[in-house]
Amino acid sequence: MSKILIVDDEINIRRVVREYAEFEGYEVSEAENGMEAVELVKNNDYDLIVMDIMMPKLDGFSTCKEIKKYKSIPVIMLSARGEEYDKLFGFELGIDDYVVKPFSPKELMARIKAVIKRNTRPASDVPEKLKFDGLEIDLAGREVYVDGEKASMTPKEYDLLFYLVKNKNLALTRDKLLEEVWGYDFFGDDRTVDTHIKMLRNSLGPYRKFIVTLRGMGYKFEYGQN
């Protein structure tokens, strides 16, 4: 049974998420602020954290950074704000998903299921290390090197790059990337793909050229073709 921690200062939000999560078979714990969440994480193991951004004592972003000092746990952020820069900041912190309030509890459950499934996938048969000119990808160590320098990448950037190189030279639609990298169709919000492609390209420096935009369709990792 997967264990979920719900962190939100609104008791009604916690109650609704708990009700739906327990119905889906998850074991649920609650925290009403970031400080309490950090303490719970120190003493317990969780498969996923659902956390609000705007909270007293310690906001969601700060809580996420503090938690990652102790453990690597997937995080879905909840927020009443849907601005792109908020989402981008969250993704740069390494969160797995971002849900805007008010949200559908059923949609949130689908996202929870997808994130947990994605983080428990079996190892693939792709070689552990890949090299494309000066771009080196260590799949086993989850590290990327650009001309010998280690790149600083978010977990989602790595997942996206891994899927692109695994399907080298194949055209991939945004919907396909959402389905395979995020684990579901993201309910039509394919802008998150473009946002993460932009982040990934910045991380790859001169090798951003390998990620080719297919106008009106999606992207592909192009290498070794004339």
Does residue 123 form part of some domain?
no
Same structural domain, 45 and 64: yes
Same structural domain, 69 and 49: yes
Residue 39: domain span: 3-118
- At 34, list the tokens: 């970031």
Give the residue among 113, 124, 189, 203 at the shortest CA–CA distance from 157: 203
In total, the chain counts a number of residues equal to: 226
CB neighbours of residue 48 within 10 Å? 24
Of 74-83, 121-130, 164-173, 212-221, the range with the lowest mean pLDDT is: 121-130
**With bands split at pLDDT 50, 70 and 90, how would you rate the model's confidence at 219?**
very high
Same structural domain, 109 and 147: no
Same structural domain, 78 and 30: yes
Same structural domain, 34 and 105: yes
Mind listing the pLDDT tens digit for each residue in 75-109? Answer: 999 988 767 777 778 888 888 888 888 889 998 99
Same structural domain, 17 and 97: yes
Does residue 124 form part of some domain?
no
Only one residue has tokens 């969601």, namely 60
